[in-house]
Amino acid sequence: MIPDNKIITAPDLEHSNMMKVMLVDFDWREAELFASISRRSPVPLVIYVYNQTEDDHAWCLTAARQSDSVLVNCVNRTPLEMLKGYLLSLPQAVAYGKNDNSFMARTTHHDISIWFTEVIKYYTSPTRGKDGGIQ
């Protein structure tokens, strides 16, 4: 059975108990790739997408705070750098593609599908919320 996944952008928010992940500063091609990967999820999923074409930072912060995991694209510099810096201070945030990560414990260089597999594994584990989150 394919779960009923949702892709959501500003200004909409999802107020259900569905698992929520957020992609920050990824282009639509990458977001669509993630959405296709998410069809393998055993749980229904909300995917929030926020990129540099958006200008509703308040929505971004609200969506990030209600997400179970936030993947922040740090490969390229964009006008969202200050916002991305704040988002990376959230415990559920992970920096994607950061090369100078000596100060960042939560960084991934993995393919998005590997990160997604870890998110699902964490979300469905009985120790969820007790072990410091997704690395």
Domains of the chain: 6-123 (3.40.50)
Question: CB count, 10 Å around CB of 111?
Answer: 11
Note whether 69 and 134 are within 8 A (CB).
yes
* Per-residue confidence in pLDDT tens, the chain, 135 aa: 455 788 899 999 999 988 899 999 988 888 888 888 787 777 888 999 999 888 899 999 999 999 999 999 888 888 999 999 999 999 989 888 765 543 444 555 556 666 677 777 776 777 665 555 544
